[in-house]
Amino acid sequence: MVKKKKFKRIAVFTSGGDAPGMNAAIRAVVRTALNYGIEVYGIVRAYDGMIKGDIIKLSSKDVGGIIQRGGTILQSARSVEFRTKEGREKAYNNLLDKGIEALVAVGGDGTFTGATIFHKEYGIPVIGVPGTIDNDLFGSDSTIGYDTAMNTVIDAVDKLKDTASSHDRLFFVEVMGRDAGFIALNTGIASGAEAILIPESRTYINDLIITLKENKRKGKKSGIIIVAEGDDFGGAYEVARKVKELDSSYSTRVTVLGHVQRGGSPTLADRVLASRLGFAAVEALNLGHNNEMVGIVDGKVSYTSLDLAIKSHSPINKELLRIARILSI
């Protein structure tokens, strides 16, 4: 049974890879906290800024006009020093100097790992908000930035399909997803890709060649292969090289979308999700939740321990794999 808390000052920060919608989450945290009479501070450059004391007070006006902006106004940075006990002690002392009593951490598993260690050492209440385009955190049906990233991929692939068909080429498109294939799987289905290669499913090049030859027999002279960067075969360049080696009849091209997937104005879905989660984070603190991540499961706010959110990544939908195979015929 959680006990209600009354905080005077909290801080919010964004950490890890930026994700479209992080600004909307910051905005929601600030304005929800102010609604409850809580002062809000923003930590610039995440844990690095916490150590250096780069902590600024935020007003409602400070977060005006940012809901549509990609990236994060609080910026993000890696911090080797925060991995040390001495670094975390500096960070804690800086929070004490500002009178900050609780934290809202927006980010992914690396962000939550740092927050968990910090909480265990110093007991400072922390609530995590899932902000990562990979959608690989357990405890939320979607993470901030995921929908926007997929739409960015679809826009690019649709354009590549035009040039692929114009030149009878086979395009291998690498998308983000080092450990999870959510972006690749969904964008592959949505773009009508001939094949989708993801970390959760082993890649068999000979099977891929058979599929491509069958497509060619049916009159398909061009195609799109979506490859998650963490695919076990080694990424789009390696897959394209092997396909070309086994069948030199293909005119192949490789496009790595890379960090373009992290940028851009967030979609409506990501703006609403980020707003709900930022609001829920402050509500969670007020209700006494601690060392937990807020998420949306089946349309409702849920709470998951940060440890579980990190260790139990969401599983891939096997039904979507089956759909992808059938619809690519």
Q: What is the pLDDT of residue 55?
A: 97
Do 100 and 26 share a structural domain? Answer: yes
**Residue 23's pLDDT band (cuts 50, 70, 90):** very high
Q: CB of 110 within 8 A of CB of 77?
A: no
For the cut 70, the answer to whether the pLDDT of residue 3 exceeds it is no
Q: What is the pLDDT of residue 221?
A: 67
Residue 179 or residue 41, greater confidence: 41
Do 63 and 134 share a structural domain? Answer: yes
Closest CA to 116 of 284, 310, 296: 310
CATH number for the domain spanning 155: value is 3.40.50.460
**Which residues on adjacent β-strands are paired with residue 10?**
40, 102
User: What is the average pLDDT across 17-43?
Assistant: 97
Do 170 and 110 share a structural domain? Answer: no
Q: What is the pLDDT of residue 1?
A: 44
Do 282 and 140 share a structural domain? Answer: yes
Do 270 and 121 share a structural domain? Answer: yes
User: What percentage of the chain's residues is helix, strand, coil (to nearest 5)?
Assistant: 45, 20, 35
Active centre residues (catalytic): 134
Do 189 and 224 share a structural domain? Answer: yes
Q: How many residues does the chain have?
A: 329
| Range list of H helices, 126-171 | 146-167
For the cut 90, the answer to whether the pLDDT of residue 92 exceeds it is yes
Q: What is the pLDDT of residue 246?
A: 83
Least confident among 223-232, 268-277, 299-308:
223-232
Least confident among 61-70, 109-118, 202-211, 292-301:
202-211
Within-domain flag for 106: yes
Q: What is the pLDDT of residue 244?
A: 86
304: part of which helix (H) or strand (E)? strand 300-305
Within-domain flag for 61: yes
**Residue 63's pLDDT band (cuts 50, 70, 90):** very high
Per the structure block, which two tokens stand in for 78? 């890696």
> Domain tally for the chain?
2
Q: What is the pLDDT of residue 108?
A: 92
* % residues pLDDT > 70 (the chain): 97
Do 236 and 257 share a structural domain? Answer: yes
Least confident among 4-8, 43-47, 253-257, 285-289:
4-8
CATH number for the domain spanning 77: value is 3.40.50.450
Do 140 and 279 share a structural domain? Answer: yes
Q: Phi and psi for 45 in degrees, rounded to 5? A: 65, 35
Residue 134 or residue 221, greater confidence: 134
Do 16 and 136 share a structural domain? Answer: yes
* % residues pLDDT > 90 (the chain): 66
For the cut 90, the answer to whether the pLDDT of residue 167 exceeds it is no
Question: What domain range is 79 assigned to?
Answer: 9-145+266-311
Work out whether the CA dihedral 267, 268, 272, 275 comes out positive or negative. Answer: positive
Do 292 and 242 share a structural domain? Answer: no
Do 177 and 45 share a structural domain? Answer: no
Model pTM score: 0.91
Tens digits of residue pLDDT in 171-209: 899 999 888 889 999 999 999 888 899 988 887 788 888
**Which residues on adjacent β-strands are paired with residue 14?**
106
Q: Phi and psi for 87 in degrees, rounded to 5? A: -65, -45
Do 186 and 47 share a structural domain? Answer: no
Within-domain flag for 140: yes
Least confident among 51-60, 212-221, 245-254, 302-311:
212-221
Tens digits of residue pLDDT in 258-268: 899 999 999 99
Q: What is the pLDDT of residue 194?
A: 87
Summary mean pLDDT of the chain: 91
Within-domain flag for 324: no
Q: CB of 155 within 8 A of CB of 264?
A: no
Residue 38 or residue 244, greater confidence: 38
